[in-house]
Structure 1
Amino acid sequence: MTQPFRANDGHWYQGPFASFDTETTGVDVERDRIVSAALVLQSAPGAEPTRLTWLADPGIPIPEGARAVHGITDEQVRAHGRPPAQVTAEIAAALAEQARAGVPLVVMNAPYDLTLLDRELRRHRHSSLDAFLAGAELLVVDPRVVDKHVDRYRKGRRTLTDLCAHYGVVLDGAHDAGADAWAALQLVRVLGERHQGALGAFSPAELHLRQRGWHAAQARGLQEWFDRSGTPERVDRSWPLRPAEAA
């Protein structure tokens, strides 16, 4: 079992981590479904990681665009996928275990994966991610938010592939949930080491709270840019989980 983070273990990026990622039917967190997911655990830098993986039959056809990204077909999920009610409950229980242990959870673009998981729990189990956490708090580290804070004016895209290339992290098998989760975990360690002066003094709980503010400021800036350019898109400032729409 992953050991909880302790302050005397050193900087936050040298402690244990869990890392979560999903592959899905699309990019709409309110309507799309989880197809596969992974949780990668590492107790310390250099330690052998443990991987938990899930394959779900989403109950709807996987669109061609999504299949082109992750390569998972309808035939595969029908043959090997499990019911989403079981899969989402197991995922949420695994995340809750890490939260109770105080282990930071790496999630690249957290408002996407965590919100989608929450909506799947509501859809298939009439529950929520908060209900599974039962008062425990996820201590999320989102490399996208952290990188945009420490290197605000760097030009270019900031997908996981882009960040791994920029920071020299090997991403072997992009758009596989396990590969992406493992790369994101390593990326967070490199970010902490590379920007130790700006980030090293935080505890995982402090870093979580700081990211909430950083993300809100980043979203506000993007919204202002959309407004100036006449783009009607609205940017959600919530992090790491978007509030559920009223029933």
Structure 2
Amino acid sequence: QVGAKQPTVAANWLTDVDGEEIPAGAAAVHGISTEKAHAEGVDLRLAVEEILGALTQVILSGIPVVAMNARYDLTLLDREAQRYGFQPLADAIVIDPFVIDKQVDRYRSGKRTLTALCQHYDVRLDAAHSADADAVAACRVAWRQATRYPQLATMTLDELHAAQIGWAAEQAASLQEHFRQTRPDAVVEGAWPLIPRQREMTS
């Protein structure tokens, strides 16, 4: 948790990845090898349960969830909850710096990774690709976006959440149109903040 004149509270979970292998490319980014995860990680089921519990407590307190590229992380968490038979995450107000940045500065060239956004919005990023450091940085990017673009600051949280649903859909449609210039069958998912389960099951 970040802001509200309270101390920053961050948490990390290292899991055993349920015995799976971590690709070498991913390990090179975040520094966690398959061997380290298997040796030091907690049971994945337990970690999923604890993460769901922590987020649920935040959501029920009325605090928005900030997630960079929320569609990926929240969908992944939702599917893991489903796999282990846990209740899905409660409906949350989500703030996604990735979606917001593409909306407010759509013609800016260059990458829109968290590292790139931190540089663009002058946010310090300590220990990049550490989950807790990335989460704190995403919160600070969202705050900088609200201070830089007054139209964001004047929205209620409900209005901002609803706006992002539309923005994400428009962004996906635009990217899909671009891809189809060379790949006529290209499909870009537009659902946000997560992909509904029923859509995945029927596709």
Fold shared by both chains (TM-score > 0.5): yes
Contact between 1:119 and 1:128, CA under 8 Å: does it hold in 2? no
User: Is 2:191 aligned against 1:246?
Assistant: no
Structure 2 matches for 1:185-204, cutoff 5 A?
Answer: 185-196=139-150, 198-204=151-157
Give the number of the structure whose residues are more often strand, by fraction.
1
Identity of aligned residues (%): 45
> Counterpart of 1:216?
169
Secondary structure in 1 aligned to 2:13? Answer: strand
Q: 2:41 aligns with which of 67, 78, 81?
A: 81
What TM-score, normalized to structure 1? 0.77
Aligned partner letter, 2:7: E
Unaligned runs of 5+ in 1: 1-40
How many equivalent pairs are there?
Answer: 199
RMSD: 1.5
Map residues 39-118 of structure 1 onto 2, 5 A cutoff: 41-44=1-4, 47-58=6-17, 59-118=19-78
TM-score norm. by structure 2 comes to 0.93
Aligned residue type for 1:108? M
Partners of 2:2 and 2:136 within 8 A in 1: no
Aligned partner of residue 180 in structure 1, secondary structure: helix
Kindly state the Cα deviation for residue 207 of structure 1 after the two structures are TM-superposed.
0.6
Q: Which segments of structure 1 move beyond 4 Å, counting only runs of 4 or more?
A: none
| DSSP-derived class of the 1:54 partner | coil
Alpha-carbon distance in structure 2 between the residues aligned to 1:189 and 1:116: 25
User: Equivalent residue for 2:131?
Assistant: 177
Consecutive unaligned residues of structure 2, counting only runs of 5 or more, are none
Structure 1 CA distance, aligned partners of 2:154 and 2:68? Answer: 22
Q: Specify the alignment match of 1:17 in structure 2.
A: none
Following superposition, the deviation at residue 141 of structure 1 comes to: 0.2
Answer whether contact 1:56 1:81 (CA < 8 A) is retained.
yes
Give the partner amino acid of 1:236.
E
Amino acid in structure 1 at the alignment position of 2:169: A
Q: 1:158 aligns with which of 103, 112, 123?
A: 112
Match of residue 179 from structure 2: 226
After TM superposition, give the deviation of residue 231 of structure 1 in Å.
Answer: 6.0
C-alpha spacing 1:232/1:65, structure 2 compared with 1 (3 Å): farther
Q: Deviations over 1:8-47 (max 9, x none)?
A: xxxxxxxxxxxxxxxxxxxxxxxxxxxxxxxxx12425x4
Q: Is the 2:70–2:193 contact (alpha carbons within 8 Å) kept by the matching residues of 1?
A: yes
Greater fraction of residues in helix: 2
Secondary structure class of the residue paired with 1:90: helix
In the alignment, which residue of structure 2 is the partner of 1:122? 82
Amino acid at match of 2:50: E
Q: Report if the CA contact (8 A) 1:171-1:180 is conserved.
A: yes
1:51 counterpart SS class? coil
SS of 1:246's partner is: helix
Check conservation: 2:70, 2:96, Cα contact below 8 A.
yes
**How many Å apart are 1:78 and its aligned residue?**
2.1
